Amino acid sequence: MLKLKGVEEVYYPTSVKEAVDLLRKNKDVAEVVGGGLDISVLPNPRIKYLIFLDKLNLNYVKDAGEKIKIGAMSSITDMINAEPLKDYLHGRVKEILSEIATELLRNQITVGGSLGKREPYSDIVTLLYGLNAKVVLSDGEWDEELGINDLYRENFRKGLKERIIKEVILEKYDTGKFFFSMKRHIRNATDIALLNEAILIEKDGNKIKNAIVAVGARPKPAYLFREATEFLKGKELSKELAEEFGKFVESNVETGTDIRTTAEYRAHIAGVFAKRIILESLEG
Amino acid sequence: MKVKYIINGKEEEYEIHPGEVLLDVLRRNGHTEIKGNCYLGTCGACTVLIDGVPHTSCTILAAKVNGKEITTIKGIGELDSPHPLQQAFVKTGAVQCGFCTPGAILSAYALLKKNPDPTEEDIKKALDGNLCRCTGYVQQIEAVKFAVKLLKEGKNE
Ligand SMILES: Cc1cc2nc3c(=O)[nH]c(=O)nc-3n(C[C@H](O)[C@H](O)[C@H](O)COP(=O)(O)OP(=O)(O)OC[C@H]3O[C@@H](n4cnc5c(N)ncnc54)[C@H](O)[C@@H]3O)c2cc1C
Ligand code: FES
Ligand code: FES
C-alpha cells in the first residue's frame, strides 16, 4: 500500500540550516520528518519532498545546570530512559511518558513531531504545557526560545515552514516547593486520551503561590486553563480545596463533544482529575 | 531510489519508491515473515527491530532507515535452530493462528536483550503494542517467563 504517493525525493540534511533551506525552498510541498508516524499514518498527498532530521544530532536529553534540554528528535522512549529525567519531579514525568501509547509507538514518536503536529489528543503537548516548557525554534542561524502558547500563536503551521523545532527546555523544579501531576482518561491501555490534564503547583508552605493547569484532548488541542490558575492562587491546600476545585473545573473547563464522548463527560472527568491531583499534592 | 539495509546480518540493496513504508519494501523483497494488517501502527503484526529497537514497519518510511540494521523473526532463530523465545511460545500454547507471533516475539526479544530478568509488568509493557486475537495474553506472558528460564539455564528445550 503506497502511502505517500506524491513523494518524489527525500533529503538527509546534516545541519539545521540545510534542513531549513530545503524547507523554505519547497514550502507547501515539503515536510520535515521526526519519527514519521503521523506523516505515514495520515499522509498529505501534496507532499513531494521529505526532509529527514535524523542527521542533525537532535537526539539528546541533557542536564544543563538549572535546565534539562531535550533534542527535538528524542523519542518518548529516549526520554523515559534518560538519566536527567529519571528522578525529575519524583519520577512522575517518566511514569507519565511510559504510559503513552505503546512501546512500539513510544519508540517512534518524537517530541518535535508531537509539538509540530499538535494533535488535539497529544499527551506530550499537555505535559509540556503543564511543565511550562520552552521550545527552541531555529533556522540554523538564529534560535528563538518560546513558551508553548507563543509557539501556537496564529499561523504556527506557516511558521514551521520557515524554522524547525530544535529542542525543548524544562525547568528543574525544586520538589520541596513544586508539585506536578498529570492524568489521562483512556478506555484501554493503548487508547488515545478522551481527556488529559496536567497541573504544576508552586507552594509556599501549604499555600498555593502559583499554578499551571493544562487540559487537552477536549477534543480541541490542549490549552492553558487560566481561570483554574486564578482559582488556585493564594489558597491553602486541603481536602476541602480539592473538592471545591474539582467542582470549579467541571463547571468552567472548555470541552466539546465528538464521536467519542460528550462535552459534559469530559468536563466531569476534568473535575475528577483536578480533585485527585490536589489530593495527591497533600501526600507530597 | 536505492536503499541498503543489513537484514538479519546480510547486506541487501533495494529499489524503492521514496514514499514507501518499510513493511511493503521488505515483503515485496521476500520477507513475508513480517505480517501486515492495520497499517496504522496499532496492531504490531509488522514489528521488526531497527538497530535492535522494535518498531511497527508499516509506519516507518523505508528511506528514513536507509543503512540501518533490520532484524525480522527469521533473524533470531530458524525452524531447525529456534531461539528460546520461539520454543517457549510453542511450548506454552502462545501461538494459535500465528499472525501476531513474529511481532510479539521480536518485542519480547528486544525486552530480554536490555532486561534479562523482567517483571510481569515489564513484559506486559513491552508487548503492549502487539495485539493478539487468538490466545489472549496470559500464554504470551507465560511464554516470555519460560524463555527467561531457558535463557538463564543456558539451554534450548
Ligand atoms: C496509532 C497512533 C497512536 C497515537 N497515540 C498517541 C498517544 O497516546 N499520545 C500522544 O501524545 N500521541 C499519540 N500519537 C500521536 C503522535 O504523537 C503524533 O502522531 C506525533 O506527531 C508523532 O510524532 P512523530 O515524531 O512521528 O511525528 P512526524 O510524523 O515525524 O511529524 C508530525 C508533524 O510534525 C512536523 N515535525 C516533525 N518534527 C519536527 C521538528 N523538529 N520541527 C518542526 N516540525 C516537525 C512534521 O513535519 C509533521 O508535520 C499517536 C499516533 C498514532 C498514529
Ligand atoms: S500493520 Fe503495522 S501496526 Fe498493524
Ligand atoms: S495467535 Fe492469532 S492473533 Fe495471536
pLDDT (tens digit per residue) in A195-231: 999 999 999 999 999 999 999 999 999 999 999 999 9
Question: For chain B, how far is it from start to end, CA to CA, in angstroms?
Answer: 45
**Inter-chain touch A2–B20, beta carbons under 8 Å:** yes
> What integer is the mean pLDDT of B108-130?
96
> Into how many domains does chain A fold?
3
Is there an atom of ligand 2 within 6 Å of B37 CB?
Answer: yes
- For residue A4, being part of any structural domain is answered with no
Q: In the block, which residue shows the cell 525552498?
A: A25
Q: What is the mean pLDDT of chain A?
A: 96
| Nearest alpha-carbon partner for B104 in B80, B79, B135, B69 | B135
Cα–Cα dist A196/A222, whole Å: 8
Query: In this predicted model, what pLDDT tens digit does every residue of B48-100 receive, in sequence order?
Result: 999 999 999 999 999 999 999 999 999 999 999 999 999 999 999 999 999 99
Alpha-carbon dihedral sign for residues A241, A128, B43, A39: positive
| Nearest alpha-carbon partner for B73 in B83, B65, B63, B61 | B83
Nearest-CA distance A51 → chain B (Å)? 9
Interchain CB contact of B39 with A (< 8 Å): yes
Chain A residues closer than 8 Å to B17 by CB: 2, 7
Nearest-CA distance B95 → chain A (Å)? 21
- Gap from CA of A126 to ligand 3 centroid (Å): 35
Query: In this predicted model, what pLDDT tens digit does every residue of A113-151 receive, in sequence order?
Result: 999 999 999 999 999 999 999 999 999 999 999 999 999
Query: In this predicted model, what pLDDT tens digit does every residue of A235-249 receive, in sequence order?
Result: 999 999 999 999 999
CATH of the domain at A160: 3.30.465.10
> What integer is the mean pLDDT of B128-156?
92
Chain A residues closer than 8 Å to B61 by CB: 4, 10, 33, 36, 39-40, 50
In chain B, ranges of CATH 3.10.20.30 domains: 2-74
Q: What is the mean pLDDT of chain B?
A: 96
Res. A21: pLDDT tops 70:
yes
Domain B2-74 part of CATH 3.10.20.30: yes
Q: Band of the pLDDT at A155, cuts 50, 70, 90?
A: confident
Interchain CB contact of A73 with B (< 8 Å): no
Q: Band of the pLDDT at B155, cuts 50, 70, 90?
A: low
Is there an atom of ligand 2 within 6 Å of B38 CB?
Answer: yes
Question: What is the pLDDT at residue A189?
Answer: 75
The residue from A139, A171, A203 where one domain ends is A171
Return the ligand 1 atom nearest residue A33 CA. 30
CATH architecture of B77-153: Orthogonal Bundle (1.10)
> What integer is the mean pLDDT of B111-122?
96
Q: Band of the pLDDT at B156, cuts 50, 70, 90?
A: low
Chain B residues closer than 8 Å to A33 by CB: 61, 64
- Gap from CA of B109 to ligand 3 centroid (Å): 18
In chain A, what percentage of residues exceed pLDDT 90?
95
Q: Contact at 8 Å (CB) between A10 and A54?
A: no
pTM: 0.97
DSSP strand pairing (A61-64 vs A30-33)? unpaired
Q: Structural domain of residue A32, as residue ranges? A: 9-55
DSSP reduced 3-state for A205: coil
